[in-house]
Each structure stands twice: as structure tokens, then as C-alpha cells.
Amino acid sequence: MRDLFIEIWESIRRNKVRTCLTGLAVAWGIFMLIVLLGAGNGLLNAFMGDSDDFATNTMNVFPGVTSKPYDGLKQGRRIRMTEQDMEMLRQPAFADHVDKVSTQATQGGYAMTYGRRYFRNIVLTGCMPDVEKVDRIQMHAGRFINERDMKSRRKVAVITHLHAKNFLSGSTDYDRLLGKRIKVGNLSFVIVGIRHGAENEDDRAVYIPYSTYKHLFSLGNRIDELNISFHDLETEAEAQAFEDEIRASLNAAHRVAPDDKRAFWIWNRFTQSIQMEKGRSLLITALWIIGLFTLVSGIVGVSNIMLITVKERTHEFGIRKALGARPGNILKLIVTESVLITAFFGYIGMLLGMIACKVLDLTVGQSKVELFGESFKMLENPTVGLSTAVGATVVLIIAGTVAGIFPAMKAAKVKPIEALRAE
Amino acid sequence: MLIELKGVHKTYDNGQPLHVLKGIDLEIEKGEFVSIMGASGSGKSTLLNILGILDNYDEGEYHLAGKLIKNLSERESATYRNEMIGFVFQSFNLIGFKTAVENVELPLFYQGVSRHRRQEAAMAYLEKMGLTDWASHYPNEMSGGQKQRVAIARALITHPEIILADEPTGALDSKTSVEVMDLLTRLNREDGVTIIVVTHESGVANCADKIVHIKDGLIEKIEDNRQHHSSVFGADTIMK
């Protein structure tokens, strides 16, 4: 075995150009594949990253304006939702799919103070306890709003860890804030919990119980939105049917034409996430197809050069055969050389590709684009998993070997007398 | 009997069939120095290729050291070539990216001899050829005569039954040609190596004890040349 390697080392050492060309084809193939997949992943992460923040089995309903005259009422009528709508959806008729029905209301522009520290532009949100699950709220300390807060209309609040950190002068000992009083506007609340606030977004919501909010702002019966969580909906069609059912009931209850789609705005996170998932898998498929073609071009490069190599060395193989090399010896020599070269340069290409991904992350990955008034990251974590990178390299090595085997078998079969004549 | 050919025929079929050997009968004893002479196209190189198991034949029988050489697999013929035959070619056929000593070692590599012992043996043969100082040189750094001596060392290293030389002086000037032929003669006389030389130069052929004349694919005559007066080397001959 050692002899074989010395033999190969000699031939590589004396044929640097050929070796480098083969290596370039391999390294380039792997490099491109990894950079491509990395950039693609970055794109996916940037655009799809938020979708994991919410439970997908929810639907939000907002009131709109009717677009058709119906039942003696003219079009353009503004819809007002009330707590009766919530009660309606809680009826057993909807129990097959509806889990919980809740609502929330927000009011912005408040100042929040704690001792001498304060925040401007705080959003006060009155919510029900289910929001913790629906919006997947993470708690750093204390608890979220609960049923007893709701029942007793307690003046309690949940603030973000970003607020808390500021109140504690940078410390993260959040427990110290529990039970402390803050002022929002001219209202006083007791902190019962510290939740996680998204750092990159402007997350300024302070949660208080909906009952408290309703009382403080005298909302009466009116609600701003309906939050419905549901279960046992598997397909997009089922979700759509459910959505239609809800809309029909609401339209009927509010004397709206059955086919009027503007009276209520329904944001169905489930169908949306399915569509997003579709787009995502489409993008992934496209990426893999492009990646595989890149890989194929690498393989073609390798086989091409192997073909030339074998042709170039036919005379040498003839000499070796005359001196007693068996076809197996020749085959082993070529294939081992091809494997070693592809493995070595494949590894280098893989490393360079990963470095390029890192560079991409540190440059383009940090920049943001403005779109519809919101800023998006262009790329988020544009890297390829190590297993994918290694997998692609292994595929190329195997392909390089297979590519080497055919010309090698041909070379091994050539009669020595013909090989000796070749020049 | 080391070599025994009986009614060997060979036809090449490149577009139209070319009957090159039309029934060759030849016997060569161990320790003989034989030259095969003939004009180009006479079939002498084909005969040598068959003797060297580099090529196959269509009809007849070829026994080498008692073994019938016919319809062998590539694997078997490679093994026989390795163990029984040493080649010396007109164009030397050294591997360009290997040093002299590595070239000489190569046949032993295919016998699975250890690196150390291979090197030892190769150095011994290079010394015999007077090339000790050139052991680590590459072929393109050596003269034609030196290259041919490396090739002869390579042919000898496996202690083959026969040395087959195909126009061994074809690429050499007359002075080096004489040196190489002297070397082959000495190997035959002193070490008893069986040598078969294919040539169209009468001066080269004259070094042999037996000259086989081939014409149009048949043996014209076998000349006993133990007196070496057939055509004196260098004197009014066709030697360059």
C-alpha cells in the first residue's frame, strides 16, 4: 500500500499541471455548491425566519367595511365586532375545530417609568392568557397574565427583558423586578413577569389583562379583533373550508351579504404557513437542482481530465504492462490517484466554500434592505450544515472515482503492444 | 528447449487482412545468442512481440520454458512477462518521471518485492552497467547509451529466461551501438543469458551466434554465425 502511495506521489509530483487542473475542477465544483447552498439557506432563513415565532393553528379576524348592499343596508358600512361574536364562536356548533376564542386590544404612545428610568412610545396591550401559547411567548422570570388576573381585573403587567435590563442597569437578575411597580402613562401596574422581547424588532408591548384594559379604557362590549385557535385541520383545503364557515357565520350575524369578503379580514396563519412552506420547499428544490447541476459540472470536469490523463499515460501503462503490470495494478493506480486528488482538492474546496459562507455572513449578512417601510435582513446565517458539505464532497469523490474507473478500465484492457505504440 | 515455435501464423486485420507470419518454426536453446534479421515489413517485430507475449498469434503453438503460451488472460501473460522475459526497446521506454534506479526497480514492484530489497537489487544492476553515479538521474538527463544501459539493467533485474531486444541500437550512434552490443555479448558469454535481438543492421546481427533471416513472414534461412564473419561490425557495413 505504501508503495502504491509513493508511486502515486511520484506521478503527482512530476505532473503538477495535470494534477492542479483536476484539483481545480473538483475544488471549484464543491466551492460553488457550498456557496450556493449557503446563500440559498441564508435567503430562506432571512425570509422565513419569523414563521416559527407563532403557533400556526390560529386565525385572526378583524372588522372591515362591507362592499355590497344587503338586507336593506347599503354598502360601505363599517363593521363593529362585539363580545357576542366571541360568544357565538364558543358555541358547541364550532367545537369540532375551535379551541379557544379570545381578543386583545392595544393602545400606543405611552411612557413607562420605573424609578428614574423610563421608556417612550410604549404599547399597552390588553390580552387574554392564551396569548402566551398562541404567540409562543417565552418567559424569563415570573409568569404571564392568568385567569385570576382576568377575573379580578388586576393591575398587573408583563414587560420585556429589554425593558427589564434597562431598569436593572444592565443586570439580568430579573427576579428582582417582580412585584415592583411601574407607571405606564399615569397608570400604575405591578410587574408579574418578564417575557422575551425580540431584539431586532421594535418590541415595546407591555401586556396587561384584557379585563383590566377594558375597564381602564371603557371599551364596553366592543372588541377590536378575534383570535381563534383551532385543532384538527390537516390540509389547506380543510383550513380554507373552516375559514369560510367562520366568515359565513360572522356575515350572517352582522347582516352582511354571504359572498362579501370585505366585511371581515381573516388572517389565517395556518394556510399562510402552508403556503410559506410550499414556497420554501420550492426554493429548496430549486437550490438543490442548481447545486446538483453544479456538482455534475464538477464531475464532468473530473471525468474529462481523467480521460485526458489516461490517454496521456497510455504509453507509460504500456511500459508498465510489458514489465509485468497486471490490469488490476493499472486500474488500482489510476483509481487511487483519482480518489486521492478528488478527496484532497474536494476538502480544500469545501473549506474555502465554508470560509466564503462565513465572509458572506459577515458582509451581506449584516446589511438590511428597506421594504414596505420595514427593514429585512438580506441573508440570515448563510451557512451549510457540515453534514451537507461533507456529503457533497463525498458524492464528488465517489463520482470522481466512477469517472476515473471507465477510462481506467479501458486503459487496463488495452493490449500492451498497442499501448506501447501510443505516443 | 527454451523456446519452441511450431507453425505460428499471425494475421492483422485493419480494414483488410494482412498475413504477417505465415508459419514460423523456430527452436532456441537456453544460453543462445540469436538475432532475427529481416527487412522492414518482413514480420520480425511481430515475431518478437509474440515471443515477448506482448501480442497473441492465430495459429500454431509457442512453448516458453515448457509452458504453452496461447490464449492467456492479460493477467497470466503479465505474470509470464514479468517472470520470464526482459525487454530492451529501440526507444528505451523508460518512464520519464522516474529516476534510473526507480525505473530499474519497476519489474520487482510488480512482483511485490519490498522497497528496500528492490532498491538494493536495482543498485547492484546499475553498478554492473557502470551507472552508479546516475542512479538518481531522470531519463532526460542521460545520453542514449546510458538510457539503453538502464533499460538493460531493468530487463535483467528479474533474472528472466530471455532478453528480447527490439532494435536495441536503433536510436544510438555507432560508437554507443558497439558498446551496447558488447554489453549484451558479455552478458551472454559470462552470465549465460539467452538473448534474442531483432535488427535490420547486419553489424548488430553479426554479434549473435545464430542469425535467423526472415522474409515475407517465413524463415528464409538460419545461419550459424559462431565465427562472427557474417558482416564485421563497422567495416563497410550499413551501420551508421
The label of the residue with cell 544510438 reads: B172
Instruction: Please check whether residue B237 lies inside any domain of the structure.
Output: no
With a CB-CB cutoff of 8 Å, which residues 325-354 of chain A face chain B? 325-329
- Mean of pLDDT values over A332-356: 87
10-residue mean pLDDT profile of chain B (240 residues): values are 91 87 92 90 88 91 91 90 92 90 93 91 92 93 92 92 89 86 90 90 86 90 79 49
Cell numbers placing A119: 421608556
Using the beta-carbon criterion (under 8 Å), do A323 and B82 form an inter-chain contact?
Answer: yes
Cell numbers placing A117: 428610568
Using the beta-carbon criterion (under 8 Å), do B54 and A2 form an inter-chain contact?
Answer: no
Using the beta-carbon criterion (under 8 Å), do A10 and B98 form an inter-chain contact?
Answer: yes
Instruction: Please check whether residue B68 lies inside any domain of the structure.
Output: no
Full DSSP string of B85-121: EEEE-TT----TTS-HHHHHHHHHHTTT--HHHHHHH
A423 at interface of B, judged by CB pairs closer than 8 A: no
Instruction: Please check whether residue B119 lies inside any domain of the structure.
Output: yes
- Mean of pLDDT values over A392-414: 81
A405 at interface of B, judged by CB pairs closer than 8 A: no
Average pLDDT along chain A: 85
If one counts the domains in chain B, the total is 1
Using the beta-carbon criterion (under 8 Å), do B110 and A329 form an inter-chain contact?
Answer: yes
Q: What is the residue range of B140's domain?
A: 30-57+74-224
User: Angle formed by the axes of helices A236-253 and A269-312, to 10°?
Assistant: 160
| pLDDT value of position A158 | 95
Q: In a 10 Å sphere around its CB, with 0-12 CB exposed, 13-18 middle and 19+ buried, how is residue B76 labelled?
A: middle
Residue A160 and residue A196 in contact, taking contact as beta carbons nearer than 8 Å: yes
Where are the strands (E) in A12-162, listed by range? 58-63, 81-82, 98-102, 105-114, 117-127, 139-142, 156-160
Residue A185 and residue A111 in contact, taking contact as beta carbons nearer than 8 Å: yes
Instruction: Please check whether residue B153 lies inside any domain of the structure.
Output: yes
Instruction: Please check whether residue B69 lies inside any domain of the structure.
Output: no
| pLDDT value of position B236 | 45
pLDDT (tens digit per residue) in A109-160:
899 999 888 888 889 999 999 888 877 888 999 999 999 999 999 999 999 9
pLDDT (tens digit per residue) in A46-68:
776 655 556 678 889 999 999 99
User: Nearest-CA distance from B95 to chain A in Å?
Assistant: 6
Nearest CB to B55; choose among A316, A412, A415: A415
Instruction: Please check whether residue B231 lies inside any domain of the structure.
Output: no
Please name the residue of chain A whose CA is at the shortest distance from the CA of residue B50: A417
CATH number for the domain harbouring residue B214:
3.40.50.300
With a CB-CB cutoff of 8 Å, which residues 221-250 of chain A face chain B? none
Using the beta-carbon criterion (under 8 Å), do B110 and A326 form an inter-chain contact?
Answer: yes
Residue B203 and residue B234 in contact, taking contact as beta carbons nearer than 8 Å: yes
Nearest CA-CA partner of A23 in A337, A307, A302: A302
| pLDDT value of position B234 | 47
Nearest CA-CA partner of B118 in B99, B140, B92: B99
Instruction: Please check whether residue B207 lies inside any domain of the structure.
Output: yes
Using the beta-carbon criterion (under 8 Å), do B54 and A325 form an inter-chain contact?
Answer: no
Please enumerate in sequence order all residues whose Cβ is within 8 A of that of B64, keeping only pairs 6 or more positions apart, or say none.
B2, B3, B51, B53, B80, B84, B161, B162
Rounded Cα distance, B140 and A166, in Å: 79
DSSP state at residue A74? -
Element (H, E) at B62: strand B59-64
User: Nearest-CA distance from A22 to chain B in Å?
Assistant: 19
Q: Which residues of A touch B12 (CB under 8 A)?
A: none
| pLDDT value of position A42 | 83
Q: Which residues of B touch A328 (CB under 8 A)?
A: 75
In which order are the strands placed within the sheet that holds B218-224?
B85-88, B162-166, B194-199, B33-37, B210-215, B218-224
With a CB-CB cutoff of 8 Å, which residues 286-325 of chain A face chain B? 316, 318-325
Instruction: Please check whether residue B20 lies inside any domain of the structure.
Output: no
Prediction ipTM score: 0.90
Nearest CA-CA partner of A187 in A130, A107, A131: A107
Q: How confident is the model at residue A304 (pLDDT cuts 50, 70, 90)?
A: confident
pLDDT (tens digit per residue) in A165-208:
889 988 888 999 999 999 998 899 999 999 988 766 667 889 99
Residue A66 and residue A263 in contact, taking contact as beta carbons nearer than 8 Å: yes
A203 at interface of B, judged by CB pairs closer than 8 A: no
Residue B206's SS3 state is coil
Sign of CA pseudo-dihedral B167, B168, B172, B176: negative
Using the beta-carbon criterion (under 8 Å), do B106 and A327 form an inter-chain contact?
Answer: no
